[in-house]
Each structure stands twice: as structure tokens, then as C-alpha cells.
Amino acid sequence: MKLKPLSNHVIVKAAPQEEMTKSGIVLPGTADKDRPEKGEVIAVGTGKILESGQLLLMSVKIGDQVVFKKYSPDEIKIDNEDFLILNESDIVAILED
């Protein structure tokens, strides 16, 4: 199944969360941890229509690694995969190499 966001919505696949102990052991993320705050954009809407009728294009694109507000996304599960849906305005940064 393919997700196609509408308007200024973005679909993100959350980045796996890992935690490191004081001794340097990496612990994989678990379901009881806090919500994710970063991930990869997998789909974007067409943009937001302004009151003037103009289309404001999206500033993120598929493949971007983004940081977003912790409690803003809606979580959905499709074909046993978890995705996050959020407004573009809830994205606070694009991570660059």
C-alpha cells in the first residue's frame, strides 16, 4: 500500500532510537521509550494553499533526514510498518551531512 499525504502533510519513517550505557554498550530502542524526534521523509504533499490562493511549495523532499517536534506526529501502522504523519510546520530542521 502506498501513502500519499495531502496538502502540507509529510510522512516520515522514524529513525531507530538507540541508547548508550556509560560503559559504551548500545541498547536498541524499545516501545516503552519516548516518542521519536527524527526520521526520514518518505512522502510529501503538494503544499499549502495560502489565503491568496497561491500554492506554497514544500521545503522538504523525499529522502530528507528531519528533526520534528516530539509530540506533533500522528502514528499509523500500515503493512506492519510504523509511520508518522505531521504538518510541515512541525518539522524544525533538515539534517545535513
pTM score over 0.75: yes
CA distance 53 to 16: 39
Which has the closest alpha carbon to 35: 95, 79, 89, 90? 90
CATH topology of domain 9-15+34-95: 10 Kd Chaperonin, Protein Cpn10; Chain O (2.30.33)
Q: Which residue has the higher pLDDT, 65 or 25?
A: 65
CA distance 48 to 14: 23
Tell me the per-residue pLDDT of 20-45, one tens digit each, with 9 for 90 and over.
Answer: 666 766 666 554 456 668 999 999 99
Mean pLDDT of 78-86: 92
